[in-house]
């Protein structure tokens, strides 16, 4: 971001101005397309993990990353509750099946770290399963990295006050109410338990080869820009986007007669000028 007077960047509430945010986001999304083309051309495998408390802003960052990228190259994985069969498998098994092939980037909206978070706090795993996960996870991630996968882990940190504000906003907005699952509401009363679980998780899995990068996400817009900027700095990509294509003039086909328009069924133009107030 080019240096500007601090007062021109933020609004009266101390939040990043919408105009500044949109301008910077556009620049970063252009770079994300370059990253995508490099990953595809070089056959790279990239895994990015997004973890954090409920309503911490993970989904917003993922949406901004994928907004201008190709879903065939940049893929989001958000697994649901494991099936009865999956519960009997090696814990990492269903995540391994989602790992990228050459030329793909996979964004995990929550990941194998469910075991160290919600499963631990809500009692969905035994103590033995939990501690085995913490011991095994660093070795699992080391294997991924040694195989050539670029692994990046982000933890979104939100304050208790800001999380409560976002919960209330979701409750009051019919388009966002679905985001609050019964599990989210239960987690609201377990702030300290989640804090302890996160601290234990970091003590085992915040390693030199696979560190956690913490994002302060109380300001959503800044969190999005900071995360994308940091991601682009971590990966030494090159600009391999194809050059602009010059389109040749269209030549109308002779002898083609279009069927009558009235024979087609059109969607009603409810928002057309003739229907406007």
Q: What are the boundaries of each domain within the chain?
A: 14-234
List own/partner pairs for 166-170 with CB under 8 A and 24 or more apart: 166/55, 167/54, 167/55, 170/55
Cβ partners under 8 Å of residue 191, min gap 6 = 160
pLDDT band at 181 (very low <50, low <70, confident <90, very high): confident
pLDDT band at 183 (very low <50, low <70, confident <90, very high): confident
Indicate whether 131 pLDDT > 60.
Answer: yes
Q: Which residues of 188-203 are buried (b: 16+ CB within 10 A; e: fewer)?
A: beeeeebeebbeebee
Q: How far is CA 101 from CA 96, 146, 188, 203, in A?
A: 11, 15, 37, 30
pLDDT band at 255 (very low <50, low <70, confident <90, very high): confident
Report the pLDDT value the prediction gives residue 277, as an integer from 0 to 100.
56
Identify each DSSP E strand in the chain by its residue range.
45-52, 74-77, 104-109, 150-157, 212-216
Tokens 């817009």 sit on residue: 221
In the chain, the percentage of residues whose pLDDT exceeds 90 is: 79
Mean predicted lDDT score pLDDT of the chain: 93
pTM of the predicted structure, to 2 decimals: 0.91
Give the mean pLDDT of 130-140.
98
Report the pLDDT value the prediction gives residue 14, as an integer from 0 to 100.
77
End-to-end CA distance of the chain: 43
Helices vs. strands in the chain: H and E counts, helices first? 11, 5
> In CATH, what class is 14-234?
alpha beta
Count Cβ atoms below 10 Å from residue 88 Cβ, excluding itself.
Answer: 9
Report the pLDDT value the prediction gives residue 187, as an integer from 0 to 100.
81
Cβ partners under 8 Å of residue 178, min gap 6 = none
Q: Are 125 and 115 in contact (CB under 8 A)?
A: yes
Q: How far apart are CA 24 and CA 186, in angstroms?
A: 37
């Amino acid at each position: 971001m080019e240096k500007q007077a601090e007062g021109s960047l933020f609004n009266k509430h101390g939040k990043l101005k919408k105009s500044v945010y949109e301008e910077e986001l556009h620049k970063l999304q252009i770079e994300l397309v370059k990253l995508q083309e490099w990953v595809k051309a070089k056959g790279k495998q990239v895994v990015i993990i997004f973890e954090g408390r409920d309503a911490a802003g993970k989904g917003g960052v993922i949406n901004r990353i994928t907004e201008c990228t190709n879903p065939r190259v940049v893929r989001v994985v958000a697994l649901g509750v494991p099936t009865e069969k999956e519960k009997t498998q090696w814990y990492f098994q269903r995540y391994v099946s989602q790992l990228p092939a050459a030329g793909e980037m996979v964004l995990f909206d929550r990941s194998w770290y469910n075991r160290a978070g919600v499963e631990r706090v809500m009692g969905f795993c035994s103590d033995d399963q939990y501690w085995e996960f913490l011991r095994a996870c660093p070795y699992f991630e080391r294997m991924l990295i040694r195989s050539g996968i670029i692994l990046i882990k982000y933890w979104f940190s939100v304050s208790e006050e800001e999380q409560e504000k976002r919960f209330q906003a979701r409750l009051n907005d019919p388009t966002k109410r679905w985001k609050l699952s019964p599990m989210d509401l239960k987690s609201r009363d377990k702030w300290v338990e989640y804090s302890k679980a996160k601290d234990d998780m970091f003590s085992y899995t915040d390693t030199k080869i696979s560190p956690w990068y913490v994002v302060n996400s109380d300001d959503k817009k800044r969190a999005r820009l900071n995360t994308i900027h940091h991601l682009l700095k971590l990966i030494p990509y090159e600009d391999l986007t194809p050059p602009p294509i010059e389109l040749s003039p269209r030549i109308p086909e002779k002898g083609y007669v279009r069927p009558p328009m009235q024979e087609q069924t059109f969607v009603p133009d409810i928002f057309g000028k003739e229907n406007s107030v």
